[in-house]
Amino acid sequence: MNISKLLVVTLGVVLIAGVITPAYAVVGSFFLTGHDPDFHATLGPSTTGARNIINAAIAFTTDPAFNPFSNAGVNKFLYVESNIAVPGGHTNGVNGIVAAGHVLNTDFEHHDASTLNGELDQLGTKYSAIVVASDCGGILTQAELDILIARSADIITFLNNGGGIVAFSEGNSCSGLTPNGGHYGFLPFIVSSTAFNQAEGGITVTPFGASLGLVDSDVNSNFSHNIFVGTFGLQIVDDDQADQILSIAGRGVVTDDGIEPEEPVVGGELLQIDNTALLLAGLSQNAIWMLPVLAGAAGAGIAALKLRRK
C-alpha cells in the first residue's frame, strides 16, 4: 500500500470513529417554576395553560438532542409526590401529569418517600428526568423533599451527566406540607425563593419562554405560589407585572457557584445545538485523540516509502 492510500485509510478510520461516537454538550436541563400546573391541569381555571406548562417543561428537560439518556432510549421520568390523604386546597398532582398526556407506568412512574430512595438509584438507567410535584396544589411533603435534599449530590451528578429536572412551586403555602423548609434544596444553588401567592394576571412570557412553546395565555388565569429572586445561571421563562420571576429554565453544569451555562446566548435566547453541530463536535474530539494514530500511520508510511527506495 502506498503512502497516499495509507493516509486515506487512516483518515477514514478517524471519520468513522467520529460518526459512531455520540457527542453531546453534556449538561443538565432545568425547569423550575412557581406555578403549580400539576393542580391546575385538572382543576383549572385554565387547564390548557397548565397542561402546556407541564409539557413544555418535560419536553425541554427530556429533549434527546441534549439528554443522552433520552437519546439512548431511557424514556421514563420519575414523578415525586406523596400518597397522603389529599388536604383541602390540594389535589393528587399525578392526575395533572396524566391529564397533560403522559401515561402512568409507561411514560413515568410516581413514587413517594417510601420508595423514593431506591428509584433515585436508577437515575440515568430507568429515568431520564425527575419531575417534582408542587407543595401547594400538589401534595409534595417534607418527607419527599428531605430525601431529595439528602440525595442532592446524586441528583447533581445525574444532571451534570445530561439528565433533566422539573420542579413545580415550593414554599409551604396552602396546607403547610413542607414546614421545615429547604425548598428547592436539592439544587443548593437556588439559595432564595420566596413564597408569594398570587392570582395570575399580567404575566408575560419572555422570548426564551416563547422558544419553549409557551405563550402568555399559558401562564395567566390560574394561581402561582412562589417567585425566584435570581436566575442562578438560568434564563427567565416568565415574570409578573412587577418583574418578579416566576419560572427559570436552561442548560448548564452545576458548580459551587450555581449553574454555569454551556450554550451560547444570543439576544437572551439559548441557541439549540442541532445534530450536525453535535456530529462536528464529535469529529473534532475524536480527531484530537486520534492524532497520535495519524502521526504513527504517517510515520509508518514514510518509513515504508524509504525502505522501498533503498
Q: What confidence tens digit (pLDDT) does each residue in 272-282 have? A: 434 333 333 33
Q: What is the tally of structural domains in the chain?
A: 2
State the residue range of the domain holding 282. 3-18+277-309
Note whether 143 and 151 are within 8 A (CB). no
How much is the pLDDT for 172? 95
Do 44 and 122 fall within a single domain? yes
List, for residues 40-66, the tens digit of each pLDDT value. 999 999 999 999 999 999 999 999 999
**10 in Cβ contact with 225 (< 8 Å):** no
Q: Is residue 287 part of a domain?
A: yes
For the chain, helix, strand, coil in percent to 5 are 40, 20, 40
Flag whether pLDDT at 173 surpasses 60.
yes
Q: Among 7-11, 138-142, 190-194, 237-241, which stretch is predicted with the lowest mean pLDDT?
A: 7-11
**Alpha carbons 222 and 5: distance in angstroms, whole number:** 68
Contacts of residue 120, Cβ cutoff 8 Å, sequence gap at least 6: 78, 147, 151, 154, 155
> Would you state the cell numbers that stand for residue 216, as one nine-digit string?
402568555
Mean pLDDT calculated for residue range 80-106 = 98
Q: Is residue 140 part of a domain?
A: yes
Asked whether residue 285 falls in the same domain as residue 171, the answer is no
Burial environment of residue 41 by CB neighbours within 10 A (0 to 12, 13 to 18, 19 or more):
buried
12 lies in the same domain as 61:
no
Provide the pLDDT confidence category of residue 263 given band limits of 50, 70 and 90.
low
| Of 23-32, 269-278, 292-301, the least confident | 269-278
pLDDT band at residue 39 under the 50/70/90 scheme: very high
In 1-75, the DSSP E strands lie at 28-33
Averaged over 127-141, what is the pLDDT? Answer: 98
283 and 140 in a common domain: no
The per-residue pLDDT for 193 is 81
Higher pLDDT, 69 or 19: 69
| Cα angle 246, 248, 252; round to 5 | 170
Asked if residue 302 and residue 232 are part of one domain, the reply reads no
Confidence at 191, pLDDT banded by 50, 70, 90: low
